[in-house]
């Protein structure tokens, strides 16, 4: 099975090098590696020689405007593999990650599965503070609303895949593996510009409404957030609200239940970040994120009130 790996990168040369090393060390090496650079930092000069020695074809492209969604779409336009694996420049793969991906998709002889995602390990959150953060995030509804429709629940899997895949309505961008025919048909929403929050969520929501997508507990990916190349926390907080509302309008079924869940998400997330801004080395960052969310909610509410008054 031919696997294309796509890495959008933005001013993280050190993380990119580690990510590429983990890809080239795979027991099942990719057919090709596609790197889309939309930052100002040039790609490491050694990448070409490293890929040639590993026998992996390398495609590098430069974009002038920073956009994770557009960079992923550009990579998909180039990809020629049967399966496309989306990577990030601060993630690393276990040695047999691509081998397991190939095995899982090959076992789906009728090609009914559109995408498979891994379990993501974040070492920086595995201490007591990190576990408490995730527990509170779950309780407060942070990013927990999903589409009601999940075709994967109704797909009878081949015996070779039973017990190995879990139906889901949402996949994360890092390690998301997609059949190329589905990836190119659906694409990422470039309306979510820049290095947006939730672009992977929006894509998998749309895809998962019409085709079965799964999570594979045996697939492991390590995510270590890198420094640089990203927006500040205040802007990210505003983007979290704006993009969540975009996703709710365009990618999930509407209704009062969805409105309640999104409102719970926003209120709970602001509370979570405000509580976590009371201590710790990242206290100011968390406070800035919460203030950004509140500012965007106020802007959205004011705009909605203005539209309502105009209609009246």
- Any domain includes 223: yes
Q: Say whether both 26 and 123 belong to one domain.
A: yes
pLDDT at position 251, please?
Answer: 81
- Do 176 and 74 belong to one domain? yes
- The answer on 62 and 157 residing in a single domain is yes
With 90 as the cut, is the pLDDT of residue 132 above it? no
Q: pLDDT band for 127, please (50, 70, 90 cuts).
A: confident
pLDDT of res. 228:
65
CA gap 134, 138 in Å, rounded: 6
Please check the confidence at residue 73 and state whether its pLDDT lies above 90. yes
Cut 0.75: pTM above it: yes
Q: Are residues 218 and 275 in the same domain?
A: no
Task: Tell me, yes or no, whether 276 and 173 share the same domain.
Answer: no
32 lies in some domain:
yes
Q: Average pLDDT, stretch 147-168?
A: 89
Mean pLDDT, residues 301-306 taken together: 89
pLDDT given at position 150? 84
Same domain, 294 and 185: no
Mean pLDDT (the chain) is: 90
Give the Cα separation of 255 and 144 in Å (integer).
16
In total, how many domains does the chain have?
A: 2
Q: What is the pLDDT at residue 239?
A: 92
**Taking 80 as the threshold, does the pLDDT of residue 142 lie above it?**
yes
Q: What is the pLDDT of residue 178?
A: 96
Per residue in 28-39, pLDDT (tens digit) is: 999 999 999 998
Does residue 78 or residue 311 have the better pLDDT? Answer: 78
Top pLDDT among 77 and 310 is at: 77
Q: What is the DSSP letter of 153?
A: G
Residues 198 and 291 in one domain: no
pLDDT at 305: 87
Asked whether residue 293 falls in the same domain as residue 310, the answer is yes
Could you tell me the residue range of the domain that residue 253 belongs to?
231-312
- Joined together, the tokens standing for residue 183 give 């990836």
Candidates 90, 145, 129, 126; CA nearest to 269 is: 145
End-of-domain residue from the set 163, 195, 228: 228
Digit-coded pLDDT (tens) for 238-289: 999 999 999 988 888 767 778 888 999 999 999 999 998 988 778 899 999 9
Indicate the residue among 199, 228, 257 that finishes a domain: 228
On whether both 208 and 285 belong to a single domain, the answer is no
* Domain final position from 187, 205, 228: 228
For 57, list phi and psi in degrees, rounded to 5.
Answer: -70, 135
Residues 200-239 pLDDT 10s? 999 999 998 889 999 999 999 998 876 666 678 999 999 9
Give the Cβ contact number of residue 80 at 10 Å: 13
Query: What is the CA angle 169-172-176, rounded to 5?
Result: 95
Q: What average pLDDT score do residues 94-109 get?
A: 95
User: Does the structure show a pLDDT above 70 at 80?
Assistant: yes
CATH number of the domain where residue 105 is located = 3.90.550.10
């Amino acid at each position: 099975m031919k696997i294309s790996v796509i890495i959008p990168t933005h001013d993280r040369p050190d993380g990119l090098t580690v990510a590429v090393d983990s890809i080239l060390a795979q027991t099942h090496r990719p057919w090709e590696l596609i790197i889309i650079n939309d930052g100002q930092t040039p790609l490491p000069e050694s990448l070409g020689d490293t890929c040639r020695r590993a026998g992996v074809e390398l495609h590098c492209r430069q974009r002038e405007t920073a956009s994770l969604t557009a960079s992923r779409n550009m990579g998909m336009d180039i990809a020629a593999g049967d399966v496309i694996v989306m990577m990030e420049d601060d993630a690393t793969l276990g040695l047999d990650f691509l081998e397991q991906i190939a095995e899982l998709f090959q076992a789906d002889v009728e090609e009914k599965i559109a995408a498979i995602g891994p379990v993501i390990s974040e070492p920086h959150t595995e201490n007591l503070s990190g576990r408490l953060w995730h527990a509170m995030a779950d309780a407060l509804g942070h990013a927990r609303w999903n589409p009601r429709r999940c075709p994967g629940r109704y797909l009878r899997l081949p015996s070779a895949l039973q017990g190995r895949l879990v139906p889901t309505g949402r996949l994360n961008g890092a390690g998301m593996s997609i059949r190329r025919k589905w990836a190119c048909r659906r694409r990422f929403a470039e309306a979510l510009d820049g290095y947006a929050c939730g672009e992977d969520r929006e894509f998998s929501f749309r895809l998962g409404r019409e085709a079965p997508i799964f999570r594979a507990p045996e697939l492991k990916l390590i995510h270590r957030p890198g420094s640089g190349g990203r927006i500040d926390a205040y802007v990210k907080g505003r983007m979290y609200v704006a993009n969540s509302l975009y996703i709710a309008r365009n990618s999930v079924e509407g209704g009062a239940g969805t409105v309640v869940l999104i409102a719970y998400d926003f209120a709970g997330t602001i509370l979570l970040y405000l509580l976590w801004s009371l201590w710790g080395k990242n206290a100011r960052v968390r406070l800035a994120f919460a203030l950004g969310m509140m500012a965007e909610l106020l802007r959205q509410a004011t705009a909605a009130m203005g539209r309502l008054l105009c209609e009246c």
